[in-house]
Amino acid sequence: MDDILMAKGRVSRIFVHALPGRPSRGVVHVGLAAFPCALGRGGIRSDKREGDGATPRARLLLRRVFFRADRLPRPQVLRPVRAIGPEDAWCDDADDRRYNRLIRRPPGPAEERLARADRLYDTIVELGWNDAPVRRRRGSAIFWHGARDGFTPTAGCVAIRIADFAKILPRLSRQAVMVVR
């Protein structure tokens, strides 16, 4: 995407929608620019539930930005930023009191480990879904993160090219929200 298409100044709203007839493929609009994205395998749904593979139809606050300091420079963004550590994970166990929260686990297998071998989580924007308050089984670990080649579906997240984050994040205002519709 050409940088010239990015709006001057800060952007407060990011719009996301699915492509017609392709519920797990979409577009992220930031100012005047449009970026291809992958969406959840369950498409976009208003009644999001744990494990349904859907991206929630919602107005999502951008909470924190996580990044792999061993792979990327610190993102330029007006949000709290945290380097991903080897023990960082996200709790997706609806019966755990830490459900839908950042946790620390010893190195080893974990479903939502943030320090992944692939590059999908090199940059993660934590989206404010089911976090104020947390409700059991309403969905966890809804992120904006890197996409796989071919923009294959996610488990419910919004995914763009990792390189596009460097164009988008510096343009976002402190109050920026993602509107998935």
Buried b (16+ CB within 10 A) or exposed e, 74-105: ebebbbeebebeeebbbbbebeeeebbebbee
Predicted local confidence at residue 112, as pLDDT = 84
161/141 Cα distance (integer angstroms): 19
Span 13-45, pLDDT tens digits:
999 999 999 999 999 999 999 999 999 999 999
- Token pair recorded at residue 109: 């297998």
- pTM of the full structure: 0.94
Sign of the alpha-carbon torsion through 168, 171, 175, 180: negative
Predicted local confidence at residue 106, as pLDDT = 76
- Rg of the chain over all Cα atoms, to the nearest angstrom: 15
Predicted local confidence at residue 9, as pLDDT = 85
Quickly name the fold that domain 3-180 has: L,D-transpeptidase catalytic domain-like (2.40.440)
| Bridge pairing between strands 58-67 and 81-83 | parallel
Low-confidence ranges of the chain (pLDDT < 50): 1-4
Please check whether residue 140 is in contact with residue 128, taking contact to mean a CB–CB distance below 8 angstroms: no
